[in-house]
Structure 1
Amino acid sequence: MTTLLVIAKEPRPGRVKTRLTPPFTPEEAAALAEASLADTLDVVARTPARRRVLVLEGAPGPWLPPGFDVVRQCAGGLDERLAAAFAGCDGPALLIGMDTPQVTPELLTVDFSDCEAYFGPAEDGGFWALGLAQPDPSRLRGVPMSTPRTGAAQRARLTGLRVRQLPPLRDVDTAHDAALVAKAAPGGRFAAELARLAGAGR
């Protein structure tokens, strides 16, 4: 079975979802980040997996469900941190972030029997999921992160592998993204938190 990795930051004001401010305050942005992370971890907890690992910058909180190993993120750029997350795996692994609370167990239930990699493009030009049958950190190191070309650069690193593409998803980066993602997953904590903030006069 596959190891499922979630790379995330502790949802602390001023440290997460800074592109949501404005219109949201740092505290509100952190609350939205916590809801997004909680939804993501809940989906991973409901997905069949060999192992579930939270690769975390910061400290765990009450949002962490049982059944996860927590590994501290290494130092360095995001490419190095993603590479280190895969380096800690033995066997097939699929990595996602904390910015797609609309993800489902069906999307994360992958089968490497007829492929060697999975790639999930994000609508902003990045990627929301990356899976490797044989985790190889060199396929991530040096990929420029947080640019409109990040997804294309990462996809190019998979050249030579049999790749299956997952559906594109929208990351929550801006308030516009937040509204669209909440609409896509209306029953989650993220949508509820966004509605609560709107009801408070946001």
Structure 2
Amino acid sequence: MSAWPPATGPATLLVIAKEPVPGRVKTRLTPPYTHQEAATLAEAALADTLHTALKAPVRRRVLVLDGAPGPWLPPGFDIVSQSAGGLDERIAAAFGHCDRGPALLVGMDTPQLTTELFAGVGRDGHDAWFGPAADGGFWALG
């Protein structure tokens, strides 16, 4: 388990992400963007999400990664590989890396993420948590 930042809450925070490789991320943005421009955007979004996650009052931070870590990864995360399968199977396997207590999973591109959103995770008495997205999907599951 990572020693920094210190554990301050009961929850594990999972960030599910792809390595920002041109042609593998943000492909819906091409065109009008090039694959390199789309990957640069994905890397910036991932870095922002990870830096916000560092400030979250959680016990453990886990990056569930498809690919290899890069210079965008700050210290303070345990790294596990994503499992094979569809998104549902990869999410279920990600939660399998939580050894105890509540857990919250967020995606790599979560610009609305703030430390205040984590304040009640694991402390609010709820058994589940869902962060709905405007497009009908979700940005967080707990």
Contact 1:3 1:52 in 2 (8 A): yes
Question: Which residue is equivalent to 2:31?
Answer: 22
SS class of match (1:31): helix
Equivalent position amino acid for 1:88 in 2: H
Q: How does 1:1-202 map to 2 (within 5 A)?
A: 1-89=10-98, 90-113=100-123, 114-131=125-142
Unaligned runs of 5+ in 1: 132-202
Contact 1:7 1:95 in 2 (8 A): yes
Contact 1:37 1:101 in 2 (8 A): no
Unaligned runs of 5+ in 2: 1-9
Question: Which residue is equivalent to 2:7?
Answer: none
Give the structure-1-normalised TM-score. Answer: 0.63
Contact 2:101 2:122 in 1 (8 A): no
Distance in 2 of aligned mates of 1:64 and 1:126: 26
Equivalent position amino acid for 1:128 in 2: W
Deviations 1:162-197 (A, max 9, x none): xxxxxxxxxxxxxxxxxxxxxxxxxxxxxxxxxxxx
Distance in 2 of aligned mates of 1:51 and 1:115: 19
Instruction: State the Cα distance separating 1:3 from its structure 2 match.
Output: 0.2
Equivalent position amino acid for 1:103 in 2: L
Contact 1:55 1:85 in 2 (8 A): yes
Number of aligned residues: 131
* Root mean square deviation of aligned Cα: 0.9
Runs of 4+ aligned structure 1 residues displaced above 3 Å come to: none
Deviations 1:22-73 (A, max 9, x none): 1110000000000000000000001111100000000000000111000000
Distance in 1 of aligned mates of 2:13 and 2:84: 21
Instruction: State the Cα distance separating 1:102 from its structure 2 match.
Output: 2.9
Give the structure-2-normalised TM-score. Answer: 0.89
Equivalent position amino acid for 1:115 in 2: H
Higher helix share: 1
Equivalent position amino acid for 1:35 in 2: A
Percent identity between the aligned chains? 72
